[in-house]
Amino acid sequence: MDNPFKTILDTGLNLFKGGADQSESVVGIDIGTSSIKVVQLKKKKGKAVLETYGAIALGPYAGLDVGAVTNLPLEKVSQAINDVLRESNITTNDGAFSIPSSASLIFVAELPPQVSEQDYATVVPTEARKYIPVPISEVSLDWWAIPRPEPEFEGSADLDVEKASSRIKKEVLIAAIHNDALTKFKDILKTIPVHGGLFEIEVFSSVRATFGHELSSVLIMDFGASKTKISIVEHGIMREFHIVNRGSADITVALSKSLGIPFPKAEETKRKWGLAGSPDDKNIAEITRISVDYIFSETNSVILNYERKYNKSINKIILTGGGSLLRGILDNAKANFRCEVSLGNPFSKVEAPVFLGPVLESTGPEFAVAVGLALKKLQ
C-alpha cells in the first residue's frame, strides 16, 4: 500500500539496527500550536550525537504574545520554520516533521482470530470505518499488529493450547491522518530548505524519545500548550491514547483573567511561580492548580479504565512537553498518582557535550517530539 507515513508505529527502542554510519545530519521539526522546536542529530559510531537545537514562539507571527496558542496560515508557518532553522544554525536539509495529534485518530481495533496478517490491508480499512467519523477515502491509515500474549490455562496438561489460542481476537493499533493535514505539510515542504517527506504523529515521536526499556505499563503525559496527550505503552507498544483538551496555555489565560493582568505578565507569572505559588499571592497557585487538577483527573480516569480493561496496573508515569516544566508539577503528580513519576529526558538518548548536561536535562521535556523525530529519521 502507498502509505505516506508507513511504520510510524515503531517505538524505536533499538535505534540503530546494523549498517554503516550515516555521514549526513538530520533534523526533527516539531510544529506545535505555540512554538516550533528543532533538533539536529548525527549518527556517529552507532550513536546519535546532538549537533544543535532551538525553538521559536509562534504568537508574534499571529500578532499575539509569546506563549499564546495560534492557528497560523501556511505561509506564516513556513516563515517561522525558516526563521528557527536559521536562528538555530541548522545545517542539514534532511528532516522529519510532526503531525499534530488533533489532525489524527489513534485507536485499538479487534479483528477476528481467523484473519491473517496478509489480509490486514483489506480488513483494517473496513474495520477502521467503525471508528473514523469521515469517509475512509479522506484519511491515510497505518497499523501495527499488537503481539498476542501467551494464554494461560489451568487444568489438564492435554489441553489443546494452540486451539484455545486461535479463539482469541487479534488486536491492531490503527492510526489515521486526515489527508488535508498531509497536504498542508507537503505544501510547507515546498517553501522551506528541508526535504525528506517523513511525517509522524507527534505522540509516537514523544514516546520514542522518552520511553526506556520498561517491561511494565508506562503512561506518558505530553503536557502541550493547547492539549495534553496521554499514551499508555506496554512492552514498547502503545495500548491506549487519549487527548485532554487543556494545556499550559490555559493556565496563562486563567491567570490573566483571574488576576486582571495582561497575557505576557500572566505567562511570566506562571513560569516564575507555577504550582509552587508566590509568597505574596496565594491565588497564583490555586488558579494554576485548577487546570492541573482537571488534567490529572482526566488522566486518572484513563488509568482506571485501562486497569479495569486489561487487569494491569500503571507502574510509572513520565511527564513530558513544555507544560511539564511548570514549577511544582512533578511533586503534585507524585502526590496525585499511586506510582513512580518522573520527568522525561529525551536528550539522554543522544550524546552531547558534558557541560550542556544540566541545561539539556532541564529543557529536555520541551524537545521530546523533535528528538523523537530526528531519532526516527536516523534509523
Helix (H, G, I), strand (E, B) or coil at 107: strand
Please provide the DSSP assignment of 178-222 as one string: EHHHHHHHHHHHTTSS-EEEEEEEHHHHHHHHH--S--SEEEEEE
The type of residue at 34 is S
Query: Has residue 135 been placed in a domain?
Result: yes
Q: How confident is the model at residue 303, as a pLDDT?
A: 96
Q: What is the CATH number of the domain that holds 370?
A: 3.30.420.380
State the Cα–Cα distance between residues 371 and 209, nearest whole angstrom: 6
Q: How confident is the model at residue 211, as a pLDDT?
A: 87
Query: Has residue 274 been placed in a domain?
Result: no
Query: Has residue 248 been placed in a domain?
Result: yes
Q: How confident is the model at residue 150, as a pLDDT?
A: 56
Q: Which domain holds residue 360?
A: 25-252+284-378
State the Cα–Cα distance between residues 361 and 371, nearest whole angstrom: 13
Query: Has residue 221 been placed in a domain?
Result: yes
State the Cα–Cα distance between residues 121 and 127, nearest whole angstrom: 11
Residue 244, beta-bridge partner list: 228
Q: Which residue has the cell 482469541?
A: 168
Using a 10 angstrom Cβ sphere, with 0-12 exposed, 13-18 middle and 19 or more buried, the burial of residue 287 is: buried
Buried b (16+ CB within 10 A) or exposed e, 47-78: ebebbebbbbbbbebeeebebbbbebeeeebb
Nearest one of 30, 7, 92 to 373, comparing CA atoms: 30
Query: Has residue 225 been placed in a domain?
Result: yes
Contacts for 181 with CB less than 8 Å, ≥ 6 apart: 99, 100, 103, 104
Look up residue 18 and give its DSSP letter: S
Q: How confident is the model at residue 151, as a pLDDT?
A: 52
**What global pTM score does this model have?**
0.89
Query: Has residue 207 been placed in a domain?
Result: yes
Domain tally, the chain: 1
Which grid coordinates are listed for 234? Answer: 506496554
Query: Has residue 259 been placed in a domain?
Result: no
Distances (CA, A) of 130 to 27, 110, 135, 174, 309: 37, 11, 10, 12, 20
Q: How confident is the model at residue 160, as a pLDDT?
A: 54
State the Cα–Cα distance between residues 230 and 87, nearest whole angstrom: 32
φ and ψ of 6, to 5 deg: -60, 145
Would you say 104 and 177 are in contact if contact means Cβ atoms under 8 Å apart?
A: yes
Would you say 28 and 370 are in contact if contact means Cβ atoms under 8 Å apart?
A: yes
Query: Has residue 278 been placed in a domain?
Result: no
Q: How confident is the model at residue 166, as a pLDDT?
A: 57
Contacts for 128 with CB less than 8 Å, ≥ 6 apart: 109, 136, 141, 174, 176
Please provide the DSSP assignment of 293-345 as one string: HHHHHHHHHHHHHHHHHHS--EEEEEEESGGGGSTTHHHHHHHHSSSEEEE--
Buried b (16+ CB within 10 A) or exposed e, 321-345: bbbbbbbbbbebbeebbebebebbb
- Give average pLDDT by consecutive 10-residue segment, the chain, 379 residues: 39 40 81 96 92 97 96 96 97 94 90 88 91 91 81 50 63 93 91 88 94 87 95 90 95 96 96 91 94 97 94 94 95 94 94 91 94 94
Q: How confident is the model at residue 15, as a pLDDT?
A: 38
Q: How confident is the model at residue 8, as a pLDDT?
A: 39
Measured torsion, CA atoms of residues 53, 58, 60, 65, in degrees rounded to the nearest 10: -100
